[in-house]
Amino acid sequence: MSDGGSACLDIRGLVEFLNSILRMEAETWGDPVDAVLLRTIHLGEQEGRLYDVTSLASVTAMTVPTTARRVSDLIERGIINRYRDGRSYRLALSEESTQRLLDSLERWVGKARCLFNGAEPPAVASEPPPAALGRVAM
């Protein structure tokens, strides 16, 4: 496939990059679907619109029951918080989760730059999730 003379996309590198994202998400959050919810909640926070379960389900194309179940689990694990706003509960990442998400996004940006610039990515130590983000009994 030609793109008018610019550098060709390294398909193998792209696949490895995407797979590394899934691995990092699994290491950080335990589940890529949870990572989708967390990134979406974070983006909403950055844009000044906190999601409730119904709007989060709509934006992520998930069913409301599935989203509600996953959100409840994330709340139990201390990864997100919910805030009363009139008749709704709005969702926000905990401070620790926000920092972990920003750190993971920074690693992905570094890997993406290397992929598209042809350089080797910097070594990033993978950290196990802290106990605070594990499952807790309520």
Q: What confidence tens digit (pLDDT) does each residue in 27-51 have?
A: 888 888 998 999 999 999 999 999 9
H helix intervals, 1-138: 11-29, 32-46, 53-60, 64-76, 95-117
Mean pLDDT value of segment 83-104: 92
- Going by pLDDT thresholds of 50, 70 and 90, the confidence category of residue 121 is low
Residue 119 is given by DSSP the state P
> And the tokens for 62?
């998930």
pLDDT at 75 over 90: yes
As a whole number of angstroms, the distance between CA 91 and CA 71 comes to: 9
Domains of the chain, CATH where assigned? 33-115 (1.10.10.10)
The pLDDT confidence band at residue 120, using thresholds 50, 70 and 90, is low
Q: Which of 8-17, 72-81, 91-100 has the lowest mean pLDDT?
A: 8-17
Instruction: Provide the whole-model pTM.
Output: 0.70
Q: Which residue has the higher pLDDT, 83 or 110?
A: 83
